[in-house]
C-alpha cells in the first residue's frame, strides 16, 4: 500500500504546523489542512483522505463534531478527535459520530502514531467487513428462494425480497421480532401450529417440515412451502444465529397432483384394456383352437388358423408385459431374498417346452446364488432365453448360461451366450428400449428386453449385451446381467 493520506483539521496554526511536520516525518502524506468545520467538510470531499485528525473546538459557529456528522453522511472516513481537557464535556456528544480514537492535548508523538495506525487498521478491517456484508446481502437478496436469518435469541435480523413476498412482512417490520411471529407454519391436515422453529435450528438440529407444511402469510393467505434451516456459526464454531431458506411449492404440488391423477387414469385404462383384451383374446383363442381341430380342415387353412392363434397369444403377452412394466415403474413390488435357481429352472422349463430342439448349458445350482429381488425374476430369464431361441436359425439352439461373482463381490454376474445372428453395434445401445429390436426382421412385441431391463434395474442391477466372440457379431450375442447379492440375514 502507498502512504496513508491524512487531513488535519486544527484552528491553531502552530499546533497544525507541528502536526503536519510530525506526520510527514513519520511517512504519512498530509493532503490538506482546515481550520473551520465547513472547510473540513469541503476538504474531505475534495481529497477523500484515508484519515482525518479533527480538533473538536474550531473557529466559527460549528465544532469538529458538527463537521464529523456532515462528513459521515457523505463519506466513510475514519476520524480521530483531538481534544483539550476543557473539551471533555463534548465527549458524550462526539461518541455518536463513532470516532476511532480520542487524543488529549498535549499529546506524545508515540501516542499519536499508535492511534493513527490503529485507526487505519480498524478502518481497513471495517471496510472489508462492510464489503463482505454488502456482497452477502446482495447475494441473498438476488436469489429466488426466500431467506430469513435470526440472532441467537431467535429474533429476525434479515429477510430478503422473496421472503417479504411470501410472508407479507417487510424487513423493516420483521427485524427484531421473534421468528414465530412472521414465519407462522401449520400442518395443513391437522391445523396445528409448528412451534419453536428457530429453537431447533439454534440447537443444531435439522428443520423438520412435512409435505403438509403451510406458511400463513401476514394477510392470512396459506402458502405450501418446502424449507431447510441451518445454524449460523462464528469463527470459533459457536452458534450465533439461524438461517432459514424456503420456497413456495404450490406449483410443484399442483404438478404432482396432476401427475398422480394422470397416473391413476393411465392405470385405469391399462386395467380396462387388459381385462377386455384378455377376455377377447381368450374367446378368439378358444374359437381358433376349435377351428384348428376341425376334421378335414385343409392344410393351408390350418396354417392360417395357427398364425392367427399365434398373434392372439402375442397380444395377450403384450398386455401382460404392459402390466408388468406398470408394476415395476410404480415401485409397488417389494424386494426380498430370492434364490436364483427356482426362477431360472422355471424359465428353462418354459423354453424347453417349445417345439424346437433347444440345449441349455448351465452350472446354476439351488441354494447357492441368492439375490435381492422379487417374483418377477423368472421374467428376466424367460425373456433372455426366448430371445436367444427366437433369433437362432440353427436346427439345434445352444445357449450357455454362466454365473460368477463380480470383481467387487457385490453382484452375481450371469452371462447368456447364444449362437444366433448377433446384434449390430448401433443396436446394442437401443435394444433394451421399448418397441425397438435388433434387425429389420425383428419379431415380437418389443417389450421383452425392455421389461427385462426395468426389472433388473429395479433390483439395483445392470444389463448389457456384447458379442459372444469379441469383434465377430455373427457368432452370437452375450447378454451380461448383474444382480445384487443378498446382503441381509
Within a domain: 373: yes
Pair 94, 158 in one domain: no
192 & 161 share domain: yes
Q: In angstroms, how far is CA 4 from the centroid of its own chain?
A: 48
Q: What is the pLDDT of residue 327?
A: 66
* CATH value at residue 42: 3.40.50.2300
Quote the CA–CA distance of 470 and 50 in Å, as a whole number.
76
What is the predicted pLDDT for the residue at 334? 75
pLDDT (0 to 100) of residue 329? 62
Q: Are residues 348 and 320 in the same domain?
A: no
Beta-strand runs (E) in 314-386: 336-339, 357-362, 370-373
pLDDT of residue 362: 94
Looking at the fold, whether 178 and 215 belong to one and the same domain comes out as yes
Q: Based on C-alpha coordinates, what's the Rg of the chain?
A: 41
pLDDT of residue 437: 44
Task: Give the domain CATH number at 230.
Answer: 3.30.450.20
Q: How far apart are CA 60 and CA 480, in angstroms?
A: 96
- What is the residue-level pLDDT of the chain in tens, covering all 489 positions? 468 899 999 988 888 898 899 889 889 999 999 999 999 999 999 999 999 999 988 899 898 889 998 998 888 889 888 887 655 566 666 666 778 777 877 778 888 888 888 888 888 887 877 777 677 666 666 677 888 888 888 899 888 888 888 889 998 999 999 888 888 888 777 777 766 666 777 776 656 555 678 888 888 888 888 777 778 788 788 888 888 888 888 777 777 778 777 767 766 666 666 666 667 777 887 888 788 888 888 888 878 887 787 767 666 666 666 666 666 666 666 788 999 999 999 889 888 877 889 999 999 999 999 999 888 888 899 889 988 998 898 999 999 999 999 999 999 999 999 999 898 887 887 888 764 444 434 444 457 788 889 889 989 999 999 999 998 989 999 999 999 999 875
Q: 258 and 244 in one domain?
A: no
Please check whether residue 238 lies inside any domain of the structure.
Answer: yes
Predicted local distance difference test score (pLDDT) of residue 268: 66
Residue that finishes a domain, picked among 329, 346, 370: 329
pLDDT at 53: 93
Return the pLDDT at 480: 96
pLDDT at 271: 66
Question: Residue 441 has what pLDDT?
Answer: 40
Please indicate, yes or no, whether residues 15 and 126 belong to a single structural domain of this protein: yes
Q: How many domains does the chain have?
A: 4
Looking at the domain assignment, is residue 418 inside a domain?
Answer: yes
Task: Tell me what pLDDT residue 251 has.
Answer: 77
Give residue 219's domain range.
143-248
Please tell me the distance from the alpha carbon of residue 379 to that of residue 407, in angstroms, as a whole number.
26
94 within domain boundaries:
yes
Question: Are 14 and 105 part of one and the same domain?
Answer: yes
pTM: 0.43
**Short-list 259, 229, 255, 260, CA closest to 243:** 229
- Give domain status of residue 224, yes or no: yes
CA distance 222 to 253: 14
What are the φ/ψ torsions at residue 376 (nearest 5 degrees)? -85, -5
Residue 483 is predicted with a pLDDT of 96
Amino acid at each position: 500500500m502507498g502512504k496513508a493520506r491524512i487531513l488535519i483539521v486544527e484552528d491553531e496554526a502552530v499546533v497544525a504546523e507541528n502536526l503536519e511536520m510530525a506526520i510527514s516525518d513519520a511517512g504519512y502524506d498530509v493532503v490538506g489542512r482546515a481550520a473551520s468545520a465547513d472547510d473540513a467538510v469541503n476538504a474531505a470531499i475534495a481529497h477523500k483522505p484515508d484519515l482525518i485528525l479533527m480538533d473538536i473546538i474550531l473557529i466559527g459557529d460549528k465544532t469538529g463534531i458538527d463537521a464529523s456528522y456532515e462528513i459521515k453522511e457523505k463519506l466513510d472516513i475514519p476520524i480521530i478527535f483531538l481534544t483539550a481537557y476543557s473539551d471533555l464535556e463534548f465527549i458524550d456528544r462526539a461518541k455518536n459520530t463513532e470516532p476511532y480514537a480520542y487524543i488529549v492535548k498535549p499529546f506524545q508523538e508515540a501516542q499519536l502514531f499508535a492511534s493513527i495506525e490503529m485507526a487505519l487498521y480498524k478502518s481497513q478491517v471495517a471496510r472489508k467487513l462492510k464489503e463482505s456484508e454488502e456482497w452477502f446481502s446482495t447475494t441473498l437478496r438476488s436469489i429466488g428462494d426466500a431467506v430469513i436469518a435470526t440472532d441467537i435469541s431467535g429474533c429476525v435480523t434479515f429477510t430478503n425480497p422473496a421472503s417479504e413476498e411470501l410472508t407479507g412482512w417487510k424487513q423493516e417490520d420483521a427485524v427484531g421480532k421473534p421468528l414465530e411471529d412472521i414465519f407462522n407454519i401449520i400442518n395443513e391436515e391437522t391445523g396445528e401450529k409448528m412451534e419453536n422453529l428457530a429453537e431447533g435450528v439454534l440447537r443444531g438440529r435439522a428443520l423438520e417440515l412435512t409435505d403438509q407444511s403451510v406458511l400463513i402469510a401476514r394477510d392470512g393467505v396459506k402458502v405450501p412451502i418446502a424449507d431447510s434451516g441451518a445454524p449460523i456459526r462464528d469463527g470459533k464454531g459457536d452458534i450465533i444465529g439461524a438461517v432459514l431458506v424456503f420456497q413456495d411449492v404450490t406449483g410443484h404440488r399442483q404438478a404432482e397432483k396432476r401427475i398422480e391423477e394422470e397416473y391413476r387414469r393411465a392405470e385405469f385404462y391399462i386395467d380396462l384394456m387388459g381385462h377386455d383384451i384378455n377376455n377377447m383374446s381368450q374367446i378368439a383363442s378358444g374359437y381358433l383352437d376349435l377351428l384348428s381341430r376341425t376334421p378335414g380342415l385343409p392344410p393351408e387353412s390350418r396354417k392360417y388358423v395357427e398364425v392367427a392363434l399365434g398373434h392372439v397369444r402375442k397380444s395377450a403377452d403384450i398386455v401382460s408385459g404392459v402390466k408388468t412394466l406398470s408394476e415395476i415403474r410404480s415401485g409397488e413390488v417389494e424386494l426380498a431374498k430370492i434364490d436364483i435357481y427356482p426362477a431360472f429352472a422355471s424359465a428353462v422349463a418354459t423354453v424347453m417346452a417349445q417345439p424346437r430342439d433347444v440345449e441349455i448349458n448351465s452350472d446354476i445350482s439351488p441354494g447357492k446364488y441368492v439375490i435381492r429381488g422379487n417374483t418377477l425374476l423368472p421374467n428376466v430369464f424367460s425373456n433372455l432365453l426366448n430371445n436367444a431361441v427366437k433369433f437362432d436359425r440353427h436346427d439345434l439352439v445352444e445357449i450357455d448360461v454362466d454365473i460368477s461373482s463380480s470383481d467387487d463381490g457385490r453382484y452375481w454376474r450371469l452371462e447368456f451366450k447364444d449362437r444366433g445372428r448377433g446384434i449390430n453395434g448401433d443396436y446394442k445401445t437401443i435394444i433394451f428400449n421399448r418397441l425397438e429390436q435388433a434387425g429389420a426382421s425383428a419379431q415380437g412385441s418389443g417389450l421383452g428386453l425392455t421389461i427385462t431391463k426395468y426389472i433388473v434395474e429395479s433390483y439395483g442391477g445392470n444389463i448389457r449385451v456384447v458379442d459372444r466372440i469379441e469383434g465377430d457379431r455373427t457368432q452370437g450375442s452375450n447378454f451380461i446381467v448383474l444382480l445384487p447379492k443378498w446382503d441381509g440375514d
